[in-house]
Structure 1
Amino acid sequence: MLNKGLKTFGIVTSIGMLIVLLQGALVTKTGSAEGCGATWPLCYGQLIPESSAKETIIEYSHRAWSGLMGMFVFILAVWSWKKLSHLRETKFLALMAVLFILFQGFMGAGAVIWGNNDIVLALHFGISTISFAAVALLTVLAFEDGKSSVTNVQVSKAYRNYLFGVLVYSYLVIYTGAYVKHTGATHVCNGFPLCNGSFIPDMGSGLAYQLSIQMIHRAAAMVLAVLFLVLLIWTIRRFRRYPVLFFGSIAVFLLVLVQAGAGISILFVDSYLPPALVHSLTITVLFTILSYMGMVITRRNGY
């Protein structure tokens, strides 16, 4: 079987990177960012920390697994470069995978050693999302290699521009969601769709900034759902003959609904950790599917 080892390794690395991303969300949600103190890569100055505190275990596990996956990503990138260099997207995705996993690691280390503001910390999740998408798409290329029916579609310029516009906008929504978490704005509204009993909450409560961030994210997320609905309708009407676009547009629309449901449920459940992790998972998978759709529509005459 062509590229059997690469395919298997790609799947393992993709799953591992998804775990890294969920671990990062877990660190944030449990307040474990300082679980190893202000030392990196050591934990409280130790290779293996003696502390058995929950926060230390969560942070140390995240660091250790991220380091292992960093090596996996580098191996996958080099392996793909050697075996799949004849495919147009391989070198770009390999570079993206390596650069963004390094960037992700440096940002995480910097946050521990020097501290970072909420803007940079929120960007860390966005970087993780891109890193996962690059790894997942490299794995997809390994499965596509050698197939006579490599996905190749023809779409209008308007559709192509719209899809890439939605892709960029979805990344901005990811960023606003991460910013909500890092500014402590998750629970400033006690309901949905109203915020503290009104569509426009009282900004004189001393939480004006957090309320503004929360309302911006809510509005951005609702707009994103509408954009995906338009993409779905457009695809069904004009390009349903292409399975990757047809099923991809259905998938991203359903995922944005799951994403919204998980985000809303955080406000109403006693333990908000499970829906918060689902919230992070769905937006990552959604972004990856949308990125694959974007990759496909840039192809002209196959390979």
Structure 2
Amino acid sequence: MHDSSDVLSLNKVSEHVTFIGAGYVAMELATFLAAAGSQVTILVRGKHVLRHFYQKYSAELVTRMVQRGIQFKFATEATCITQLSDKYVVELNQGSSLVTDYVVNASGRTSNIEKLDLSAAQIDYSPKGINVDQHLQTSVKNIYAIGDVTSQDVPNLTTVAEFQSHYLFNSLEKGLSQPINYPAIGTGVFAFPQLAQAGINPDSVSEDKDNFEIVEYELSQSSLYAGQKEKGLLTVVYDKANYIVGVSEISTSAVNDVNYFVPIIGLRIRKNEWHQNVLPIYPALADKIEGILR
């Protein structure tokens, strides 16, 4: 099997490529390989892709990718992979099999802690990683852990690991004692169309109508989308004080759009405050946001 580094080093694309997994890596690499001419099949262990994203838009992304010829097989796992000459036979849990030219393992990465012998040091851990408190300290005093190796419920992103490292440096070097307080975190999938979000996921508060309002906007009415066939959708989560606390978007420019919302969420800005203090360049991506927040 191959990994993402192998795919990025290819000199030519294969006729048929199979991905095991449907996270960031699979969705992004499948997009550009399909655009380059490969037939692409994605094996999804469960019923959904990108489960940490707004599921309405994750499902919409699947629909758009299927329209581009990418095939998804849900509730499907590879049980055995056999190489026969220049082909691979992938046996599936449903009793069937498929023949492919190239197999990519994009099933996700787990914390690489097996060889650390953490039990000998009496450090608590779980299958998700090393357990840490709000100061990033493990169960053993003066031993800390940051990044993907921890079991914290935060996105496993480079930016998050860097933020943790700065926090830990300030705590240890400067003697600061306050617990870590994560800022608004933006994340995106560079598929086509793009999928991005920051702050609160609408799925997590959809039933809490007393404290949150969820509003969806269709971006195709923007002048920047004039003539485009791709429909853009943006969902904004407002709290009861009318602060923007979360955004999710699927569009050809979702990553850039959501990046504009990250400071709005992090700095706690209301709709009317944005309009009173910000007048972006027109026409530009930020103009869409200005129109929405009026």
Question: Which of the two has greater strand per residue?
Answer: 2
Instruction: Give the TM-score taking structure 1 as reference length.
Output: 0.28
Larger RCO (CA under 8 A, 6+ residues apart): 1
More helix by share: 1
Greater Cα radius of gyration, structure 1 or 2: 2
